[in-house]
Homo-oligomer: A and B are copies of this chain.
């Protein structure tokens, strides 16, 4: 459980989360499923605040869903009640209907956790995956370029 150094690329979307009593287990550290709530909240805020796409409307009005089809996470350093950690979102890949994200939890320049997620865009009516709408794809690709470290 070692943490590498991590400095977010310029322009990367980062939000700070408070580690709360409600997140922590009898061992005094974050019970890991709560990290996925934090990650889901980060993705919501990224749509709404960075991409300027209203995530709630996409689901409630446009009847799209974004189920997670794959999640993998390395938990490197535990976090404790009262701490604040930063979560940074990066794009790994934009597919036909899927989006691969990397979310890094970090504090003082040290990684605490690193998640890779794959979500697929689907229609809640047909229950089938749908091609990413052009505007959404462009927003994803612009963010990927903006935050590229190459």
User: Known interface pairs A20-B40, A21-B40. Does A54 touch B26 (Cβ–Cβ under 8 Å)?
Assistant: no
Complex interface bits, A5-35 against B, C-beta within 8 A gives 1, otherwise 0: 0000000000000101110111111011110
Q: Which residues of B contact A26 (CB under 8 A)?
A: 21, 24-26, 28, 59-60, 81
- Interface residue? A71 (CB, 8 A): yes
How many residues of chain A have a CB within 8 Å of chain B? 45
**Of A18, A26, A73, A76, most B-chain CB atoms within 10 Å:** A26
A interface vs B, CB < 8 Å? Answer: 1, 18, 20-22, 24-29, 31-34, 36-37, 40-41, 44-45, 54-57, 59-60, 65, 67-76, 78, 80-82, 120, 124, 129
